[in-house]
Structure 1
Amino acid sequence: MKRFKSLWDRLLFRDKGIIPTKKLLLLYCLFFIAMLVLSFWQFSWLFLAIATILMIALLTTDIFLLPKKIEIAVERNVEKEMERYQKQTISIHIHNRTTDDYFVRIKDGIPTSFQTIFPQGQKIPAEQKLRVTYEVFPQIRGDYLIDKLYLRFKTKFGLWERQITYTLLNQVKVIPNLSEAKRYLASAQNYLLHEGIKIRKMRSGVGEFSKVRSYVVGDDPRKINWRQSAKLQDMMTNEYEPEHGKYLTILIDCGRMMGVELEEGNRLEKSVEAAITLATAALHNGDHVSVIAFSKEIKAVVPAGRGLEHLNTILQSIYSVEVDAQESNYALAIQHAQSIQRKRSMILLFSDVQTFVNEDYHLFYMKKLRKKHLFVMIGIEDQLLHEKIKRKPTSALVTMEKSIAQKQYIYQKQVMRKWEKHGLPMLEAPADRLAVTSVSHYIETLNRGLL
């Protein structure tokens, strides 16, 4: 049984060895058919023995032409950091030190959470190098070790394949998707205007004066700089931006309810990506950002820092956080946030709104928190609940489901309004709008001078 398992491992690119190809099996079948046809006529056993020996010699000669491990040098080039749901290219360099040409097939020992298609057979000329590339599509954040590389070589006759296993250690980090953050850095105004759903224009003259620029259609006429317009003979306008140096504390819930699956990933994945986008906006604005990831216990803490270089510190601290099968301890997270942030700050919690608001004892901690800090909670909308509300009552069962969904939705809104009366606003957004909703609320808070 162990011997069979070892042979099976070799066929599955798990070990080293020599295996026959389809071409060899085809030649063997043709030889067997030829001998079977000749058997209808009389021929000596000596002829059969000589023919068999010659056939075996022909088939086995190809084995001695296959390369050895020391004759082939390989190297793998891979990025140390990869973004989730972003294609990355891995290159394999193969150096043929022999005087013969070979055909090679590659299968890399990448993790199962990486989607990929390996290239087909490649020809590697004698005494030359071959560069083979393929793309991977990482889907789960975390640390991964790529250690094994499997190569199968065959000669131009193509009767046998030799599998050689190389050990090449490469440590890879899969970090959250940064596409939203990159879009914000590319053009913050376009990001907010085209993606925002609850964006309010900045009040005239509010915030710090930034610069004078050319007037474009859509700008507030009240901000036109008439002195500069007359001097330059062109319409110019003042541009303002929120005050810098504020403090933002981001809390990321990693509890049980954050493991609810969405169309792409789960709630925690979207919350982490939204938190990074929000941190990018705040750091780009010159504010201080601290991050706390928690579930039943504190999982990661990033003290307040300033500047875009602090974003890498946040990434390295929270890129591997996972969902715990436990209820979250909100009181512990809030107390820890207050202990590391003594100054007045905006505390934004990414969590499940329904779970949070249904616990009345949370309101006691929030009232105390509200005396010094500005608290905001944001969660992902229950897509299934909204789909049931929008359904047409075509049957008694559908009508009952729609009625229950509407009742649940109304109750949730009533509880959220109750919290808002105490100065604790709560927001819900679709999964694909979570990042832009949090950023727009942060910018609006600064523009209104609430922080």
Structure 2
Amino acid sequence: MYPTARLITLLVLGVVLSVGLTLAWPQGWFWAPFAMLGVLGLGLFDGLFAPLSRTLRLDLKTPRTMGVGRDYVWPFSLTFKGRRPSALEVRFGANHLLIVTDMAQPILAEGEAFQSELALKAHARGVATLEDIYVRYRGILGLIWIQKRLTLDRQIVVTPDIEGVQHDASELFSYDSIYGVRVQNQLHNGSEFHALREYDASQDPRRIDWRSSARHFKLLSREFQAERNHHIVLAFDTGRLMGEPLLGIKRLDRALYAGLLLGYCALKIGDNVRSFAFASQPYHIAPQVSGMQGYEVLKHQLSSLSDMAEESNHTLALADLNSRIGRRSLIVLFTDFIDEISADLMLEALNRLSKKHVIIFVAFRDEVLEDLAAIAPLTPEDVSRAIFAQRLLTQRETVHASGAQASRPVVGGSHERD
């Protein structure tokens, strides 16, 4: 128990009035201590007859897992046995992985319980702990705070945002269903040979197979269909730069979200997916998976990746990847860079890899640098920050332009899930 602002205010007013009374009526000075003791007695009475904190009970159900970067709201209720206060103030304690939103307003009683919602968000993967809850309330007269701490020790495994991946993937397929629930004609839409058919005027003359036509004494043309069973490699840089936060969430966690979304869509339409990770050296190369049952395997593979306090070695990693992949594949590289030297080494390694495979280079837009470069400078420090931010942005644009000139698609993604 400890005093409220009301009790402290009464004590201060009592002191002021006692001094004024002593100055105005010196013979009545002995009444001042009695007045102060009366106020303290009211505070003691308020604390003794307040609702008992040992009868407080919490009802809160927490899941075993939660996705990084996603906002969660969980209902909870607090009950007393016997008398109860008119309002409660609640605050939850958690470890460094969780961001708990403080409750600005006191919780009022609804029926027999105090009901509210716990809003929290995880900004990094790992094992988060909801440690305890602090509840305080005033006595009957509002002179004393009674505070109770309840130990929770609820452990929650923070994983990539699987729920968000599945939601976004379902929206993508609802916008443009590739195969639908009926069999659709996928001919003439790709480059994979399907069959020979007799040539007619509606077909492209360049598709005539002259050797087969001479063999059968009639014009035959090649018929193509949409490609299936592609090989896709999701390559993740887990070095030091990928551990830096981008608007509160690590770059690696945002890359894993994009990789899971791409893997979900690829597996759903029949492609094969495998994952690869590296930092100062390659340490993760998984066998390819296929079908929607392979998505569960891919989730566990990517959830085990974590950033390391090491500089990334793109040359070694991409050379090792090139030696491990035999069939021509689509390689999606999630990485980041900050200086021109490491970017040049990465581009050289990509040049060698692109002779055999198709490369897509993915980097997030650094919106912090963009804001620093665009803000109007007011002090000399603002000018220095704007100059360095613009220099770094120019280097990034140069690397992106070099990749585009080498016929490698460069994707500069925003942090938002668009």
Same fold at TM > 0.5: yes
2:75 aligns with 91
2:122 aligns with 138
1:315-326 aligned at under 5 Å gives the runs 315-319=299-303, 321-326=305-310
Identity of aligned residues (%): 18
Query: What's the offset of the Cα at 1:87?
Result: 1.8
| Contact preservation (8 Å) 1:279, 1:311 | yes
**SS of equivalent to 1:51:** helix
2:152 aligns with 168
1:17-416 aligned at under 5 Å gives the runs 18-39=1-22, 40-44=24-28, 47-112=31-96, 114=99, 116-124=101-109, 128-177=112-161, 179=164, 182-188=167-173, 190=175, 204-206=188-190, 242-259=226-243, 262=246, 265=249, 267-298=251-282, 300=284, 302-319=286-303, 321-330=305-314, 333-334=317-318, 345-352=329-336, 355=342, 357-358=344-345, 362=349, 366=353, 374-380=357-363, 413-414=401-402
Query: What's the offset of the Cα at 1:314?
Result: 3.0
> How many angstroms apart in 2 are the aligned matches of 1:298 and 1:263?
28
TM-score relative to the length of structure 1? 0.65
Q: After superposition, what is the alpha-carbon deviation per residue over 1:383-423, rounded to whole angstroms, capped at 9, x for unaligned? A: 69999999xxxxxx999x99998798568645764xx4xxx
> How many angstroms apart in 1 are the aligned matches of 2:34 and 2:52?
31
| Contact preservation (8 Å) 2:364, 2:414 | no
Q: Which amino acid aligns with 1:94?
A: L
1:429 aligns with 411
Query: What's the offset of the Cα at 1:68?
Result: 4.3
Shifted more, 406-415 versus 56-65: the winner is 406-415
Query: What's the offset of the Cα at 1:57?
Result: 1.6
> How many angstroms apart in 2 are the aligned matches of 1:289 and 1:408?
29
TM-score relative to the length of structure 2? 0.69
Query: What's the offset of the Cα at 1:72?
Result: 1.0
Give unpaired runs (5+ residues) of structure 2: 179-185, 193-201, 204-223, 375-383
**SS of equivalent to 2:258:** helix
Query: What's the offset of the Cα at 1:252?
Result: 0.5
Give unpaired runs (5+ residues) of structure 1: 1-17, 194-201, 209-220, 223-239, 391-396, 437-451
Q: Which amino acid aligns with 1:249?
A: V
> How many angstroms apart in 2 are the aligned matches of 1:404 and 1:22?
52
The 3 A distance-change label for structure 1 pair 129 and 274 is same
Greater RCO between the two (CA within 8 Å, min separation 6)? 1
**SS of equivalent to 1:430:** strand
**SS of equivalent to 1:273:** helix
| Contact preservation (8 Å) 1:300, 1:317 | no
Query: What's the offset of the Cα at 1:54?
Result: 2.8
> How many angstroms apart in 1 are the aligned matches of 2:371 and 2:148?
54
Q: Which amino acid aligns with 2:172?
A: S
1:12 aligns with none
| Contact preservation (8 Å) 1:74, 1:92 | yes
The 3 A distance-change label for structure 1 pair 33 and 252 is same
> How many angstroms apart in 1 are the aligned matches of 2:310 and 2:85?
58
| Contact preservation (8 Å) 1:284, 1:308 | yes
Q: Which amino acid aligns with 1:108?
A: F
Q: After superposition, what is the alpha-carbon deviation per residue over 1:112-166, rounded to whole angstroms, capped at 9, x for unaligned? A: 551523242223489x332221322433333311112111122232211122111
> How many angstroms apart in 1 are the aligned matches of 2:169 and 2:7?
59
**CA RMSD after TM alignment:** 4.5
Query: What's the offset of the Cα at 1:250?
Result: 0.9
**SS of equivalent to 2:188:** coil
2:216 aligns with none
| Contact preservation (8 Å) 1:146, 1:170 | yes
Q: Which amino acid aligns with 2:11?
A: Y
1:211 aligns with none
Q: Which amino acid aligns with 1:135?
A: A
| Contact preservation (8 Å) 1:380, 1:434 | no
Query: What's the offset of the Cα at 1:342?
Result: 6.3
Query: What's the offset of the Cα at 1:344?
Result: 5.4
Report the count of equivalent residues: 364
> How many angstroms apart in 2 are the aligned matches of 1:414 and 1:291?
26
The 3 A distance-change label for structure 1 pair 99 and 271 is closer
> How many angstroms apart in 1 are the aligned matches of 2:7 and 2:270?
69
| Contact preservation (8 Å) 1:250, 1:275 | yes
